[in-house]
Chain A
Amino acid sequence: MASTDQNHKLRIDFCGMKFNSPLVLLSGCVGFGEEYTRVAGFSNRDVGAVCLKGTTGSARLGNPAHRVYETPMGMLNAIGLQNPGVDRVVDGILPTLDFDETRFIANVSGSTIEEYIAVTRRFDDSPIDAIEINISCPNVKEGGVAFGNDPDMSARVVAACRAVTRKPLITKLSPNQTDIAENARRCIEAGTDGFAVINTLMGMAVDIETRTPVIGNNQGGLSGPAIKPVALLKVHQVHQVCKAHGIPIIGQGGVTTAEDALEFLIAGASAVGVGTALFYDPLVCPKINQGILAYLHRHGLDQVGQLTGSLSLNQSPVRHTPACGG
């Protein structure tokens, strides 16, 4: 990280892990942790943690093209959990990562509860710092969001993973469900240590010439600035459940600037995920860090953690119309 004597203000404790910055690079955006280091000036040290690509029990080829498509202020993706399988990740990739640079978080997915258990168990016996349970991937036919939209299934997956690991467990929640707060409550009971809020919103784009969906998988997950207001509300709602339990949240969805990150922190996040914004500016993270520091200075705050959940709701947000009408 760019050295200033203020950087200590950005440090947070997240599920017992020490993060240098509240920023977290999101799963699916940065491969297995090394890809973005191709860009001169990029450093994993600029972020508190890096979430690795979603990993399943055996290798997956993923979805057919097109997998990505730009939409207004965002993009659709349907990668389909392409990954080499957990054995290759643990044996072949983790040994190449530099754990001095940042914290690395595995992202676990599967078609069955048994697969979630097997992958979690394999990561438990590895140097990985924490495990993110992906019960919200919208782009696979089985598992993923099919589990995440059902609070009972969500809790079963979390409990099953909890039983086989003592590493910090972060549950990635789907916005594509009726009551995210109820789901969060059930996942806390099942033993999650933290949350990532939110995964992508399901969406579609249509090619009007061919009259077919642009995305090979027909539908995809919407990310980018377009989803930020949705994500902020979900973070606020989940924080209402979490705060009594001291459960931290990685708030994510369209974060592009320091101001975006600050909104998420104030709404209840302890850490802030950055994903799609990297595609536009690979060196965006140091800029967000500096912007957060400037805000802390301006508001006389010593630690970024003081912002978490500092939102003051407007009183009586529903105004009653006067009896005489108008």
Chain B
Amino acid sequence: MTNPATKPHRGTIHLEEAAILTHQAYPGDQYVLRVQAPACAAKALPGSFAHLQCDPLLAMRRPLSIMRVDPQQGWVEFLYKAVGEGTRLLARRQPGETLSLLGPIGVPFQVHPERPRPLLLGGGVGIPPMVFLADSLRADTAWQPFVVMGSEVPFPFQARPSQFLVPGLPEGVIAAMPLLEDWGIPSRLASLQGYPGVFEGYVTDLARAWLQGLTDAERTEVEVFSCGPHPMLEAVAHLAREFDLPCQVSLEEFMACAVGGCAGCTVEIQTPDGPAMKRVCVDGPVFDAQQVFR
């Protein structure tokens, strides 16, 4: 007989018929989708994703990273951009309909108490896991996170001037994410599009300014967490190396099974034993940045 103690992975991912609670459209083909999926909501952690049936017409699911959960009320929320056939079909789905959700999946971000200043860098559709991570840190005042979000399409929220003074930042960079403001977490926005109050440049440029504004002692308390487009993550990894900071990145790749069965979503990781192929779905999606980017 199977000894459950030797197979702790069994039954950790749940298949649920998730009712769509709300489905909000934002400029730039962006959508915030909230579904009722209590089993997923109960176990999801920052960095977790779910694999969704976007439409019965498609043969494959689509992986979406989780932005927020409410374990008590049992909902799970996603932010996604309609970029291909799957997400375009998903965008047509209406509240009251159900969609099949497989989750939560993946190795989450790991924060470390000896580094109480997490620097969260989210770009585009990489914003959701950063929101989730910030959400998990707000209950404990020992954490002093700073969040930078970047987007080249209008942000999927109405930015507002921050109530928090953050040393080291260029003058006039005051736009913040309201949700994070309400949670008491300082944040700033970056874009090349010239939005008011938003830093004109890359996420990593603003992050560098923030890091340079810290004392040497404060900098040793920073750990970097990031999700976003591949070139941005590469720049984040280089920034972390420049300041000798540990850095975790969440990756994405085309995915078929999302439970470790098909090896379709692998990325090459550098290990002490040489290169290895790791599955983004269950070995990740969170990886040590220095193992991914040289």
Give chain A residues whose Cβ lies under 8 Å from the Cβ of B272: none
Q: Which residue of B lies closest to A226 (CB)?
A: B59
- Compute the total of residue contacts between A and B using a CB distance below 8 Å: 124
Per DSSP, are chain A's interface residues mostly helix, strand or loop, or mixed? Answer: loop
Residue B100 is within 8 A (CB to CB) of chain A in the complex: yes
Cβ–Cβ contact B277 & A61, under 8 A? yes
| Count class of interface residues, chain A | 35 or more
Q: Flag B217-261 by CB within 8 Å of A: 1 or 0 each.
A: 000000000000000000000000000000000000111111111
> Which B residue's beta carbon lies closest to that of A214?
B254
Q: Which of A35, A70, A82 contacts B260, CB < 8 Å?
A: A35
Q: Which has the most chain B C-beta neighbours within 10 Å: A62, A226, A280? A: A280
Q: Which of A35, A40, A74, A276 contacts B15 (CB 8 A)?
A: A40
Using A39-B259, A82-B277 as known contacts, say yes or no to A67 and B13 having CB atoms under 8 A apart: no
Interface size range on B against A: 35 or more
A98 at the interface (CB under 8 A from B): yes
Q: Which residues of A209-248 have CB atoms within 8 Å of chain B's CB atoms?
A: 224-226
Alpha-carbon distance between A39 and B275 when the two chains are bound, in angstroms: 29
> Which residues from chain A contact B275 at a C-beta distance below 8 Å?
61
Do A282 and B60 touch across chains, with their CB atoms under 8 A apart? no
Give Cα distance in the complex from A46 to B21, angstroms: 34
Residues of B within 8 A of A34 (CB): 7, 9-10
Contacting residue for A67 out of B1, B15, B260, B263, CB 8 A: B263
Interface residues of A in 62-118 (CB under 8 A from B): 62, 64-70, 73-75, 77, 79, 82, 96, 98, 100-101
Task: Name the contact of B58 in the complex, choosing from A53, A70, A82 (C-beta under 8 A).
Answer: A70
Interface segment, one of A23-31, A176-184, A305-313, A315-323? A23-31
What residues of chain B lie closer than 8 Å to A82, measured between beta carbons? 263, 266, 277
Q: Which residues of A contact B102 (CB under 8 A)?
A: 39, 282
Complex Cα gap A168–B15 (Å):
35
B268 interface contact, C-beta 8 A: yes
A39 and B15 contact, Cβ closer than 8 Å, known pairs A278-B257, A280-B53: yes
B264 to chain A, nearest CB (A): 4
- Complex Cα distance, B282 from A79, in Å, reads 17
Say if the beta carbon of B61 comes within 8 Å of chain A. Answer: yes
**Distance, CA A96 to CA B76, complexed state (A):** 34
Asked whether A58 is an interface residue with its Cβ less than 8 Å from the other chain, the reply is no
Q: Which 3 A-B pairs have the closest CB atoms?
A: A68-B264, A35-B260, A40-B11
Q: Which residues of A pack against B, CB within 8 Å?
A: 28-31, 34-41, 53, 61-62, 64-70, 73-75, 77, 79, 82, 96, 98, 100-101, 224-226, 276, 278-283
Question: A35-B282, A39-B14, A41-B11 provided; 6 other pairs, C-beta below 8 A?
Answer: A39-B15, A61-B276, A70-B85, A75-B256, A77-B256, A226-B59
